[in-house]
């Protein structure tokens, strides 16, 4: 039986790591993810787990050590944020191309510059094309639940790709929430043991990991990665269903909140989904048909499923907590709109930029966005794309 507790998001993830008890955890501290390796090392020192903790000199080294451990047949992980993720960029690509099913606890924090330590999705979105599966959490409970599901997804023979488990820095990582912590043995049984087919420390079967790939092989390797990412979608759904059957919580690629009859839908990721849901409840009480589609899985991107879920709405607000500096808005907006176009979905879609570097996102902001969508549909004139929500004006407001 599980137990009710109160924990920060970092503490929740650290407890999930304790329960999974991986073989190796190299780590280097960086705000706001520092607490995760700190807590895990304390668990190890107190004899609550027997993971080999490796303090390293940089994030590049932490991912390098994780790659080495995985190649040797161990189950490995690390944790980082922001510039730490950027520093291990080269190794992120190697982890995916080497098909190593390690897990990264990413506590989302904006990337410099200007220097800032607060939450947005700049770091995770910047790594969106590195070949990693990316799963985002709204709450501390979801950060815990997602981590438990990470290894069964990553290590599935049809996938064999690394997984980022993402949560918003300080908003969930440091805020304390009620949470259900499952029984240690139940978690261990759910995750299971890693079954290794090929590994470096097998003297009877030598292999090469990360060799130079000549022209005649590299493109085929890239295609194999893409197929694995496509396979991951079904595996994520299957693991989520098993998790819900075992522990009674969770959803699959995304959560649909009061979208069944919604004329206007807000598509959003991460902790701000809670703000959007509160605003939806308020507006529903006033008779406005609104809903929230909270995206859980950003990679693999569920374009067809999203298009189907949004197809009956009159308009959708796509909320990007990241700027792509391309003149067309954020990465989520671009991918959702491409999916809607391919599905020939007749839906007015507007991309908004919000919450950069920790800027507040309030229920009033959500009210205003839904009102703008309603006015646009009635007038037939779409709002301006890529508006910055909560941006200070020249008057300082």
Q: Tell me the pLDDT tens digit for each residue of 141-192.
A: 999 999 999 999 999 999 999 999 999 999 999 999 999 999 999 999 999 9
Tokens of 23: 């073989």
Q: Which of 131, 310, 286, 154 is nearest to 224 (CA)?
A: 131
Q: How confident is the model at residue 204 (pLDDT cuts 50, 70, 90)?
A: confident
Q: How much is the pLDDT for 226?
A: 98
Q: How much is the pLDDT for 203?
A: 86
Q: Residues 25-29: what's their mean pLDDT?
A: 98
Q: How much is the pLDDT for 329?
A: 87
Q: Check residues 313 and 327 and name the one with the higher pLDDT.
A: 313
By the 8 A CB rule, do 292 and 276 touch? yes
Phi and psi at 396, nearest 5°, equal 90, 10
Q: How confident is the model at residue 393 (pLDDT cuts 50, 70, 90)?
A: confident
Q: How much is the pLDDT for 10?
A: 98
pLDDT tens per residue, range 333-368: 999 999 999 999 999 999 999 999 999 999 999 999
Determine how β-strand 52-55 pairs with β-strand 297-299: unpaired
CA R_g for the chain: 21
**Which residue ranges form the domains of the chain, and what is each CATH number?**
3-247 (3.40.50.970), 254-388 (3.40.50.920)
Residue 1: pLDDT above 80? no
264 DSSP 8-state letter:
E
By the 8 A CB rule, do 11 and 39 touch? yes
Q: How confident is the model at residue 396 (pLDDT cuts 50, 70, 90)?
A: low
Q: How much is the pLDDT for 299?
A: 98
175: enclosing H helix or E strand: none
Distance CA 9, CA 12 (A): 5
Residue 395: pLDDT above 90? no
Which residues have CB under 8 Å from 71's CB, separation 6+? Answer: 98, 100, 199, 200, 209, 210
pLDDT tens per residue, range 256-307: 999 999 999 999 999 999 999 999 999 999 999 999 999 999 999 999 999 9
pLDDT tens per residue, range 102-116: 999 999 999 988 999
Distance of CA 120 to the CA centre of its chain: 12
Mean per-residue pLDDT over the chain, rounded: 96
Count other C-beta atoms under 10 Å from residue 200's C-beta. 15
Sign of the dihedral defined by the CA atoms of residues 35, 106, 48, 45, in that order: negative
Alpha carbon distances (Å) from 326 to 299, 322, 333, 357, 380 = 21, 12, 12, 19, 27
């Amino acid at each position: 039986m599980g137990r009710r507790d109160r924990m920060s998001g970092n503490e929740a993830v650290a407890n999930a790591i304790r329960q999974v008890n991986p073989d190796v955890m190299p780590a280097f501290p960086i705000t706001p993810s520092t607490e995760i390796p700190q807590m895990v090392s304390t668990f190890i020192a107190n004899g609550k787990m027997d993971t080999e903790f490796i303090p390293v000199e940089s994030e590049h080294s932490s991912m390098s050590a994780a790659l080495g451990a995985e190649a040797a047949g161990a189950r490995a992980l690390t944790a980082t944020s922001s510039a730490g993720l950027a520093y291990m960029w080269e190794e992120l690509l190697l982890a995916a191309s080497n098909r190593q099913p390690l897990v990264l606890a990413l506590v989302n924090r904006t990337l410099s510059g200007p220097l800032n330590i607060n939450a947005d999705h700049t770091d995770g979105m910047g790594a969106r094309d590195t070949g990693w599966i990316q799963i985002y959490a709204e709450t501390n409970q979801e950060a815990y639940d997602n981590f438990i599901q990470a290894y069964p997804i990553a290590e599935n023979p049809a996938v064999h790709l690394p997984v980022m488990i993402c949560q918003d820095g300080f908003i969930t990582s440091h805020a304390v929430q009620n949470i259900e912590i499952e029984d240690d043995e139940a978690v261990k049984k759910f995750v299971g043991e890693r079954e290794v087919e090929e590994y470096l420390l097998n003297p009877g079967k030598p292999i090469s990991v990360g060799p130079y790939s000549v022209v005649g092989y590299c493109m085929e390797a890239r295609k194999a990665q893409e197929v694995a990412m496509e396979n991951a979608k079904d595996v994520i759904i299957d693991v989520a269903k098993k998790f819900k059957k075992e522990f009674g919580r969770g959803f699959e690629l995304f959560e649909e909140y009061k979208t069944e009859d919604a004329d206007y839908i807000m598509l959003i990721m991460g902790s701000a989904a809670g703000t959007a849901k509160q605003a939806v409840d308020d507006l529903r009480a006033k008779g406005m048909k609104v809903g929230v589609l909270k995206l859980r899985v950003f990679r693999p991107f569920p374009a067809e499923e999203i298009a189907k879920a949004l197809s009956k709405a009159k308009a959708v607000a796509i909320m990007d907590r990241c700027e792509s500096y391309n003149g067309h808005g954020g990465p989520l907006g671009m991918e959702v709109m491409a999916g809607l176009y391919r599905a020939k979905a007749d839906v007015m879609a507007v991309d908004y930029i919000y919450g950069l570097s920790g800027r507040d996102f309030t229920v009033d902001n959500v009210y205003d966005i839904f009102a703008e969508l309603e006015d646009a549909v009635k007038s037939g004139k779409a709002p301006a794309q890529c508006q910055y929500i909560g941006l200070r004006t020249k008057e300082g407001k």
